[in-house]
Structure 1
Amino acid sequence: MCGIVGSISRSNSESFALAVDAMKHRGPDAAVIEHWELEGWRVSLGHRRLSILDLSEAANQPFTSECGNFTLIFNGEIYNHNDLRELLTAKGNRFRTRSDTEVLLAGLIYEGISFLAKANGMFAVALLDRRNRRLLLARDPFGIKPLYVSRNDDGGLIFASEMQALALAAGVTLVPDEAVFSEFLLNGFVYEPSSGFRGVEKVPPGSVVEFSLADAQVHHRRFYNPLTAPPKRESLDTLLTRQIGLEIEADVPVGVFFSGGIDSSVLVAACPRDLEAFFVDYGDEQIGDLQYAEAIAAKFKVPLKRVHHRSETLTADGIIEEFREVARGTEEPISDYTYLATRAISRLAREAGYKVMLSGMGGDELFAGYPRHAVAKYWHALRLAGRGLGVGAELLKRLPRLSKRAGRLKAYLGAPDFAQAYTALVGYFSAEEVSQMTGSHQGVEDAFDRIRTLLSPVRERSALRQAMYLDRFGFLAHNLTVTDRASMAESIEVRVPLLNAAAEAFVWGETDRELVRGLSGKLPLKAYLERHLPKQLIYRPKVGFNPPLDGRIAKIGKDRCVDLITKGRIANVVDPSVTRPWVFEHFEGRANNTYRLWQLIYFSLWLDEWQR
């Protein structure tokens, strides 16, 4: 796991070294910069290394081929590098290191872009091909590793693992993109490839961006498409055991983030050797799976370390500073408070001597594990019963304890199409409320148009498959981004064994009923665990990784909440007369608006941080 940055410009970037240094947390073990003059361009590649495999200096990047024509930098891991090395060796290639970097470079030279489809891993890659006068950028099939790209004023190209590094390399200031503000308010994030900033996009998952040094033209290609890959009927047991076996390979200690939930329990069950487990404990805040985590860890004889993440000692100012840290750390507009818990548990892992941690992230999105997936599955039937259910949802909204979900259900049932319906399940504000906040319905319509475009390849598929496909570019993408930012801030590489092409092929080969039955989802993973755990440890209410926000909002208090969401830069974007009543409604106990207030406070702090 590392940080990469590159620049193709007509002039020398005086701040390029600063861009590399800005990502020291991503790679504290080595830093290398190289420059070339090609076709009138100044080409610069920078790399920060977090040494995981082949710790020698010989594996440092940028890594240049023996012929001198190709140079590669990449962030991530190629888990099947040993198998690929054997294949390439049989074809006459010779290797001078044990690193996956050299394997990836050799494969790209020998087979071209098609080699990326063989690479089982997570990666953001930049290949400078001096023979063909081009630069290739590529990102793994799920977008586990971030890669931002932007064009500069002279027609060149800038890319980086983080946007602050990109801005430094380009010598520009990041400017929030007002065109996606409505989309953020609808979802709590923006869909890829948008980054939330003007002129900056993410390389799409499973895609290659090619920049020609000869004519400055940019071309996009896909090397992976889950909809066209043939379903494999490999057993789940086989693929889990193989994948986790591959992902625990490292020349440094490996542990596991363990919540006691289905996904992390699958990792522990399938792992061929014991790993130390790390658990976030929210103490007496009545949130978490501690009793289950302890029981499952004991069952598998796995040592369990607890990270305490509690709010009782925090002042209102301390909580607001926490919120500000999230707004600063996510870079993209993503109102996900789990950033703090992920960073805290990553810090503990680093202090305990770990560099690599496994995570069950992606299990819910890939195997349809969220409650909303069950609701989405029955979209057509629920629409037919919509009027009666809508009345029921309106009644439930009057109960503060249930008002958060009831409002979303009502918006879901009343939506005119699936794009709007699923957005209602994901976000906390209705389309009408976002239009009122921003004073414009056009931004909402533009957001839904982008979502409909994303859905177009699966429009003829079931509602469940549409939801799962949409999550790939939205909810999953935002989770991966937050995890990357939080873990790499503490120099920890997080690997996600449930997100791989073989697992996705398995899922797309299953029927909807084999994934979700009734209100129970993620059935293949649960069936797998039944062979390892008692059912009472498997079939229980989903808790998740969400830190407690109710207490934090309460401690901030009504007056501070009003100030945060109605004053400052947010007042130029969101109408205070619309949002202020939600604060009063919440603190008077007429509705639970915790997550609405959190999203608005986050947005306010994010604008203060980035809209300069």
Structure 2
Amino acid sequence: MCGILGAVGDYPVDSLAFREALDLQMHRGPDDYGVFESGKLRLGHRRLSILDLSRNGRQPMTTQNGKWIITFNGEIYNYIELRQDLIRKGIIFHTDTDTEVILHGFDVEGPKFIDRCIGMFSFAIVNLRSNQMFLVRDRLGIKPLHYSIESNGLLFSSEIKSILRLKKNKPNLNMTAVNSYLAYRYPILGDTFFEGIYSVKPGHYLELNLGNTSDIKDVCYWDLPTDRQQSSLSENEYIEKLRELMESAITLRMRSDVPFGCFLSGGVDSSIIATLMSQVEPNIKTYSIGFKEEGYNEFEYSKIVAENAKCDHHEITLDMDGYMDMMTSLIDVKDAPLSVPNEVALHNMSKRLKKDITVVLSGEGADEVFGGYGRIFRSSFDWERKNYGSMSAEQNKVFLKNYEKKYGGREFKSEVDHFLHLYDYIPQHEREALFGNNEVFQNADKQTHALFTKMFDSWGDYSYPEKMMRAFQKVHMVGLLQRVDCATMSVSVEARVPFVDHRLVELSNDIPLDLKLKWNDDQSRLNAMSLMGDQISEKYDTPKYILKKAYEGVVSDRVLYRKKMGFPVPLDKWFSDDFGGVARDLILSSNSKLRDIFDIEELNKRCDPDILRNNHSEALKTWMLTNLELFLRSYF
């Protein structure tokens, strides 16, 4: 895991400025650095040593014949197998790194070699003879890669701050990204908060020639399948396949020349990872975090798992002291507002575990891949019954009453409209009021709606709840992965996410819906007929059924089948203390940046102490506005 930087073409960048921009990413790579400069190409690298700790692993790295050069961030977990295959083809290796495997793989196969890589990665690789360059991002967006197209060149980097350091003109705030943040917690259109700076899309690479940076091809090399090709496997056969891939995903991610461990929240996903890791290597170091406020930690369950798996377990308890300062410093690492309150907690836990380990396995992705968000995924059943349901008169009467209570008088023209009503974090009508229903908001909302419409239309063979799950894999999961990357790399820790192994994602899209979101029995489905999805979930059905079933007898049922808790932060309690006053002062001050964007009366409403003290959901929305204000003060 590292930080990369590049300047391509005739864009004027002097050596000192380039080195300064690279060093802004020192937290991503404190162990070493390297710079390559020649003609129309500058490449930089900050190294966090994980594999082959010698100076042989230094980057940018070139092939012995000088044909290819690479600057690489990430890990290719199956590099040993790929290396052995290349050796059989006559390739001679000079290091024990996965970086050299990519170099020789491209020399032999070109970009098709990416298809054989299991890993997380973002890299720039250049054929110095043909001047052909590839900017590559992993399939599901685990590793960041940003770029800016200039009039006579291109800049790219793991972190936006390095691009900002090299740009001649300061970018304007991207208002579409602001709207996207309030709705989805991060910019989802391949853009960033800075006009003219973009993210390479997951599963894509950019192809260009150093001599003509205006001609850039955006190539999709991997995507979720658009045509249903479901296997006719039994439940037990799917379980065996799932176990096989899970064990492979975890074993591969335990390849490391530095100490490693595991986040252990006490939830299903991290408990499975910790247990399977302990079967490979005893006495795995595990880490749990919680808050001192009652009901805001899961230590009881993480202890059960740690004791059963014989882990070397550590608990970390946080309070609100210093939270605002840590929030500000983490925003400056991320170059964006934080997306969820627990990013600070995750950063703190990473800071603590860095004393013991450098690599940590984490459970992100399981909910998106295996259908864990039961309350929203089961709410597809609301739409289906409203539009296509067949119920008795009595059932329909109760159903319509519950529907009215949940949705009010709203009518949804399409699955996308219904989905976005459920998914939008700050609802459309509230964002409209904040923006004052201006043209900026209207245009931004049309763009994000068009994105989801295009995705749903392309998945025509799939049911509505399956489309929901796929949207979470394509959109929601990327935001979570950004969170874990920022929180861990801010303290030079590499996080690895086994559930985001692309082989597991492909398997999940082959597994029938009723094995992911499963009714408990026929009577449960009948009893739920008049209820809403959030009333049904985890009472009449089992989210992530097949994952839980696969590890019965391995992980305690008390952990597998307890109700989903998430990773809550006691914001409503904090807003009634000093934190609330600080937040209100920031948002409502005379020099508040939010005043230039939002309606001041709406901001006042969102800072009402009584609402914040008594409504956790509203406190979360105001927390987002606080983040946005802190971000704008730092960057604009």
Q: TM-score, normalised by structure 1?
A: 0.90
Distance 2:276 2:409 in 1: 37
1:410-489 alignment runs, 5 A limit: 410=407, 414-439=411-436, 440=438, 442=442, 443-489=444-490
Which residue of structure 2 lines up, in the alignment, with residue 5 of structure 1? 5
C-alpha distance after superposition, 1:428-459 (max 9, x if no partner): 32211211110225132333223323444224
Change (3 A) 1:143 1:483: same
**Kindly tell me: are residues 423 and 248 of structure 1, through their superposed partners in 2, closer, same or farther at Cα, counting changes over 3 Å?**
same
- Once residues 218 and 423 of structure 2 are traced to their aligned partners in structure 1, the CA distance between those partners, rounded to angstroms, is 30
Of residues 102, 105, 108, the one that matches 1:104 is 102
Q: Which amino acid aligns with 1:375?
A: R
Q: Which position in structure 2 is the counterpart of 1:515?
A: 516
- Residue 324 of structure 1 corresponds to which residue in structure 2? 328
Note the C-alpha offset of 1:308. Answer: 1.8
1:319/1:125 CA distance change after superposition, 3 Å: closer
User: SS of the counterpart of 1:498?
Assistant: helix
Question: Structure 1: how far apart are the matches of 2:203 and 2:563?
Answer: 34
Quote how far apart the aligned CAs of 1:99 are.
0.6
Q: Which residue of 2 aligns with 1:21?
A: 23
Moved more, 93-102 or 445-454: 445-454
Distance in 2 between the 1:523 and 1:91 partners? 44
Counterpart secondary structure, 1:593? helix
Structure 1 CA distance for aligned equivalents of residues 45 and 561 of structure 2: 45
Deviates more, 1:168-177 or 1:28-37: 168-177
**Aligned counterpart, 2:252:** 246
2:137 alignment counterpart = 139
Cα shift at 1:333: 4.0
Identity %: 26
Cross-structure match for 2:178: 181
Summarize deviations over 1:168-189 as a string: whole Å, max 9, x none.
Answer: 2334434320133222222222
Contact 1:186 1:429 in 2 (8 A): yes
Query: Hey, what does 1:494 align to over in structure 2?
Result: 495
Q: What does the per-residue CA deviation read over 1:313-334, in whole Å, with 9 as the maximum and x for residues that have no partner?
A: x3xxx44434433433332344
Does residue 33 (structure 1) correspond to residue 31 (structure 2)? The answer is no
Structure 1 residue 279: deviation in Å?
0.6
> CA–CA distance in 1 between the matches of 2:57 and 2:75?
13
SS at match of 1:55: coil
Work out the CA distance in 1 between the residues paired with 2:574 and 2:458: 41
Residues 387 and 588 of structure 1: is their aligned pair in 2 closer, same or farther, counting only changes over 3 Å?
farther
The within-5 A match list for 1:109-508 is 109-154=107-152, 156-216=153-213, 217-227=215-225, 235-271=241-277, 272-274=280-282, 275-311=284-320, 314=321, 318-352=322-356, 354-384=357-387, 392=402, 409-410=406-407, 414-439=411-436, 440=438, 442=442, 443-508=444-509
Change (3 A) 1:284 1:333: closer
Q: Which residue of 2 aligns with 1:536?
A: 558
Residues 266 and 305, structure 2, Cα contact 8 Å, conserved in 1? yes
- SS of equivalent residue, structure 2 residue 43: strand
Q: Which moved more, 1:170-179 or 1:239-248?
A: 170-179
**2:382–2:403 Cα contact (<8 Å) kept:** no
Q: Does 1:571 align with 2:575?
A: no
Cα distance change of structure 1 residues 44 and 278 upon mapping to structure 2, 3 Å threshold: same
* Structure 1 match to 2:576: 554
- Tell me, in whole angstroms, the C-alpha distance in 2 between the residues paired with 1:513 and 1:98: 45
Query: 1:352-407 CA distances to partner (integer Å, 9 max, x unpaired)?
Result: 2x110000111111111113443344253354489966864776xxxxxxxxxxxx
Matched, 1:594 2:628: no
Query: 1:546-605 deviations in whole A, cap 9, x for unaligned?
Result: 322222222147665444334411011111212322433605748852112112222222
Q: Structure 2: which amino acid aligns with 1:160?
A: S
Does the 8 Å CA contact 2:574/2:580 hold for their aligned counterparts? no
Q: Mean alpha-carbon deviation: is it higher for 582-591 or for 246-255?
A: 582-591
- Contact kept? 2:575, 2:581, Cα under 8 Å: no
Is the Cα–Cα contact under 8 Å of residues 190 and 474 in structure 1 kept in the other structure? no
Distance 2:132 2:27 in 1: 30
Q: Distance in 1 between the 2:242 and 2:580 partners?
A: 50
Q: Is 1:376–1:467's contact at 8 Å kept on the other side of the alignment? A: no
Q: Find the counterpart in structure 2 of residue 93 from structure 1.
A: 91
Provide the rounded CA distance (Å) in 1 between the counterparts of 2:494 and 2:287.
Answer: 14
Q: What 5-or-longer segments of structure 1 have no aligned partner?
A: 396-408
CA distance in 2, matches of 1:262, 1:305: 18
Note closer, same or farther for the CA distance 1:68–1:573 as it changes in structure 2 (3 Å cut): same
Give the distance between the partners of 2:557 and 2:488, measured in 1 at CA: 32
Cα–Cα, structure 1 residues 338 and 459, in superposed 2: closer, same or farther, change >3 Å? farther
Q: Distance in 2 between matches of 1:412 and 1:302?
A: 52
Indicate how the Cα distance of structure 1 residues 493 and 559 shifts in structure 2: closer, same or farther if over 3 A, else same: closer
User: How far did 1:149 drift?
Assistant: 1.0
Q: Is the 8 A contact 1:77 1:123 kept in 2?
A: yes
Q: Offset of 1:17 from its aligned partner? A: 0.6
* CA shift in 2, pair 1:11/1:239, >3 Å: closer
Is the contact between residue 41 and residue 210 of structure 2 (CA under 8 Å) also seen in structure 1?
Answer: no
CA separation of 1:411 and 1:249: change in aligned 2, threshold 3 A: farther
For residue 211 of structure 1, what is the amino acid of its counterpart?
Answer: L
Matched AA of 1:327: I
Q: Structure 1's 390 and 558: CA in aligned 2 closer, same or farther, altered over 3 A? A: farther
SS in 2 for 1:341: helix
Letter of the aligned partner of 1:158 in structure 2? L
2:226–2:458 Cα contact (<8 Å) kept: no
Bigger drift between 436-445 and 322-331 goes to 322-331
Q: Give the direction of change, closer, same or farther, for the CA distance of 1:189–1:388 in structure 2 (3 Å limit).
A: farther
CA distance in 2, matches of 1:105, 1:387: 65
User: How far off is 1:144 after superposition?
Assistant: 0.6
CA-CA distance at 1:203 after TM superposition: 0.8
Task: Show the counterpart of 1:406.
Answer: none
* CA distance in 1: counterparts of 2:137 and 2:617, whole angstroms: 40
Verify the 8 A CA contact 1:319 1:556 in the aligned structure 2.
no
| CA shift in 2, pair 1:252/1:411, >3 Å | farther
Alignment partners' CA distance in 2, 1:393 and 1:327:
40
Query: Take 1:414 and 1:430, find their aligned partners in 2: how far apart are those partners?
Result: 15
Equivalent position SS for 1:285: coil
Amino acid at match of 1:184: Y
Q: What is the alpha-carbon distance in structure 1 between the residues aligned to residue 105 and residue 308 of structure 2?
A: 42
Q: Say how many residue pairs are matched.
A: 587
Contact kept, 8 Å, 2:263 with 2:360, in 1: the verdict is yes
How far apart in 1 are the matches of 2:402 and 2:615? 18
Q: Which amino acid aligns with 2:297?
A: G
Tell me if the contact between 1:81 and 1:103 (Cα under 8 Å) persists in the aligned partners.
Answer: yes
Provide closer, same or farther for how the CA distance between residues 483 and 23 of structure 1 changes in structure 2, counting only shifts above 3 A: same
Give distance in 2, aligned partners of 1:429 and 1:411: 17
* Matched residue type, 1:265: S
What is the aligned-residue RMSD (CA, Å)?
2.4
